[in-house]
Amino acid sequence: MQPIERHRSERIGWLRAAVLGANDGIVSTASLGVGVAAAGASRHAVLVAGVAGLVAGALSMAAGEFVSVSSQADTERADLALERMELATQPEAEEDELTEIYVKRGLDTDLARTVARQLMKKDALTAHARDELGLTAELAARPLQAAMASAATFAVGAGVPVLMIVIAPLHSLVLLISIISLVCLLALGAAAARLGGAPLWVGAARVAIWGAVAMAVTDAVGRLFGTTVG
């Protein structure tokens, strides 16, 4: 029996949302904690800020992903409805359109016509959705899946700096939050690159660099405002 091939593109729907959620969870919550701690706030104040950032961020990620992916799903449904109507009212023109697509991909006209005709006979809408619109079941928009993946991974990512706020010595809070968060970002970037088939160091570097910039900027802002208020 021929083994079933598994392609990385099948992971795009949940992988993108999961990586985005975890990355945002670590970066935003760590940056928030670093900024508040750098301003000279107490551990309690830093912890409240971190937990509030975790909860608000997870809900915001879920809402944002659900709305944006729902908009994508609406567009896909509208395109399919239009295609369904065109297939019902002008099937010959739709067959010509599909034939032209296959000719442009390298088939001769007669073979392209035969392929188009046979595919339309089996499932015309699926054939046009795939080859004309670029829509497949594997890559279809799934709003709820994206929302849940983003919220869950944001909470997990944000949990790292929140945990550091709880257990790290107050005098080294900024340093430890930054170091541990950067290590987690490196691991996240490498894991995402591995799942997506990209070089590990590229994925790790692009995530960690932006995280480091965010934490450095919020640290500077926290120190500036802490000094000003003090």
Q: Which regions in the chain score pLDDT beneath 70?
A: 1-17, 137-140, 196, 227-230
pTM over 0.85: no
**Residue 167, pLDDT score:** 93
Residues 195, 11 contacting (CB under 8 angstroms)? yes
Joined tokens for residue 183: 């290590």
Tokens 């909860």 correspond to 55
From 161, 144, 125, select the one nearest 53 (Cα to Cα): 161
Q: Are 66 and 147 in contact (CB under 8 A)?
A: yes
- The dihedral sign for the CA sequence 94, 97, 101, 103: positive
**What is residue 131's predicted lDDT score, i.e. its pLDDT?**
82
Predicted pLDDT of residue 215: 92
Structure confidence at residue 79 (pLDDT): 86
At 180-211, the pLDDT tens digits run: 999 999 988 888 777 767 788 887 888 889 88
Confidence at residue 1, expressed as pLDDT on a 0 to 100 scale: 43
CA-to-CA distance for 79 and 152, rounded, in angstroms? 31
Beta strands in 46-90 (DSSP E): none
pLDDT of residue 159: 94
φ, ψ at 4 (rounded to 5°): -80, 125
Instruction: Say what the pLDDT of residue 13 is.
Output: 53
